[in-house]
Amino acid sequence: MIIHLKNSVADAEVAKVAQDLDAFHIKKPDFHVLVTPSALQEVPAQYESITEASFPFPNDMQLASADYFSETREIDINGVKIGGTNNNTMVIAGPCSVESEEQITQSAELMVEQGIKTLRAGCYKPRTSPYSFQGMGLEGLKLLDKMRSKFGLNIITEVRDTTHVDEIIEYADIIQIGAKAMYDQGILRTCGKSRKPILLKRGFGSTLQEFVQAAEFILSAGNDNVILCERGIRTFETKTRFTLDLCGVAYLKEYTNLPIILDPSHALGYRYGVPDLARACTAMGIEGLLIEVHPDPSVAKSDAAQQLDHDMFRDLLTTLHPIATAVGRTII
């Protein structure tokens, strides 16, 4: 249950109530938010007089629930806004990994040329094999930082484990929690303490309930800025890398208040169908798209098969603008 306590309640009393109800406490300018386990369905009688509003829920999807906020949350990334009443579809694009200054500079230049504001690239890669390229680490983060100051782009990069989460929070404008990291509660809790936007990717073996509950770890720690990313789940099908769960996206749009970004690149795993999928995703009226694009995909050190080349990306964007317009959105 979410309980809003009146602002006039003293901090010490709020702390006592929170402890009694086994609740998280989030301080807002005008009231205190307590989030208890969802099993609690009614405000205990002794706290009724200090309660301003209360919201019971059938399960632990609470702060993320559309029954709490009916609007999609607005996320402001240094003036680039999604959710709320903005009707923007934010394209996040760039290579899978930072590989060199030349490669990431060419990628940043492509974003500027296409009017895209958010550059992605991983520096700590969660690879399936220890023998694959693991990413450039801090050196890569510094290159991304350089792209931010040189081109004025927002930077998104992923956190692989808790050893470098603070480093990522320091360098990134949006922190990406990857599919394999979605269950890492150390990462989730640390990201909850930050106020920076978090892009939380769905674990490829997780249900929608588990996905939203992972988001609740961040929200209940006080970070309101959570974006969900559907990037494909594992099914019996092996011809494609994963299966993009658009039904799940429809569910999340209906039942949560979190902005949703779709990642067709990792879902399909092969570049041939990424443009068609990106168009289909845009038609769903979502807050963003994540597309992998590389100056020369044939030499990419990770996810080579799925990255678009620059011309494919240009052609894709040309076709995305009218689709976004048709569903009342603007590609940014």
Binding residues for Mn ion, rule: CB under 5 A, are: 96, 303
Shortest distance, position 188 Cβ to Mn ion, whole Å: 21
Torsion of CA 174, 1, 202, 263, to 10 degrees: -60
Nearer to Mn ion, 96 or 233 (CB): 96
Q: Which stretch binds ligand PEP (CB under 6 A): 38-46, 147-155, 176-184, 192-200?
A: 176-184
Identify what 179 binds: ligand PEP, Mn ion, none; CB under 5 to 8 Å per kind: ligand PEP
Partner whose binding site includes residue 137, from Mn ion, ligand PEP, none (CB under 5 to 8 Å by kind): none
Closest distance of CB 20 from ligand PEP, Å: 39
Which residues are paired to 26 by β-bridges?
33
- Nearest-angstrom CA–CA distance, 108 and 97: 13
Could you identify the residue written with the tokens 């209940």?
220
Tell me, residue by residue from 213 to 252, as one string, x for binding to ligand PEP by CB under 6 A and - for no binding. Answer: ------------------x---------------------
Bridge partners, residue 34, by sequence? 3, 25
Closer CB to ligand PEP, 23 or 159, in the complex: 159
Task: Pick between residue 36 and residue 306 the one whose CB is nearest to ligand PEP.
Answer: 306
Q: Which amino acid is at 143?
A: L
d(CA 274, CA 293): 11
Place of tokens 């006080």: 222
Q: Which range of residues in 77-85, 175-183, 269-277, 317-325 is near ligand PEP by CB under 6 A?
A: 175-183
Positions in 257-296 near ligand PEP (CB under 6 A): 266
Q: What is the DSSP string of 109-166?
A: HHHHHTT--EEE-BSS---SSTTS----THHHHHHHHHHHHHH--EEEEEE-SGGGHH
Using CB under 6 A as the binding rule, whether residue 96 contacts ligand PEP is answered as: yes
The β-bridge partners of 293 are 308
Phi, psi (degrees; rounded to nearest 5) at 51: -95, 135
HEC string for 14-29: HHHHHHHHCCEEEECC
What is the per-residue binding string for ligand PEP in 19-58, x denoting contact by CB under 6 A? ----------------------------------------
Residue selected from 201, 253, 294, 310 as contacting ligand PEP according to rule CB under 6 A:
201
Where do we find the tokens 């930082």?
A: 145
Q: What's the min distance (Å) between Cβ of 228 and Mn ion? A: 18
Cβ proximity to ligand PEP, 179 vs 262, nearer residue: 179
Residue 189 CB, nearest approach to ligand PEP (Å): 19
Burial of 304 (0-12, 13-18, 19+ CB in 10 A): middle
> 3-class DSSP state for residue 91?
strand
- Please report whether residue 160 would count as binding ligand PEP according to CB under 6 A: no
Interface segment toward ligand PEP; rule CB under 6 A; list 33-41, 66-74, 173-181, 250-258: 173-181
Work out which of 83, 122, 192, 264 binds ligand PEP, going by CB under 6 A: 122
| Nearest-angstrom CA–CA distance, 189 and 72 | 23
Pick from 144, 179, 258, 261 the residue near ligand PEP by CB under 6 A: 179
State the nearest-atom distance from the C-beta of 87 to ligand PEP, in Å. Answer: 25
203 scored as a contact of ligand PEP (CB under 6 A): no
Inter-axis angle of helices 246-255 and 208-220, nearest 10:
40
Q: Which residues bind ligand PEP (CB under 6 A)?
A: 96, 122, 126, 158, 178-180, 201, 231, 266
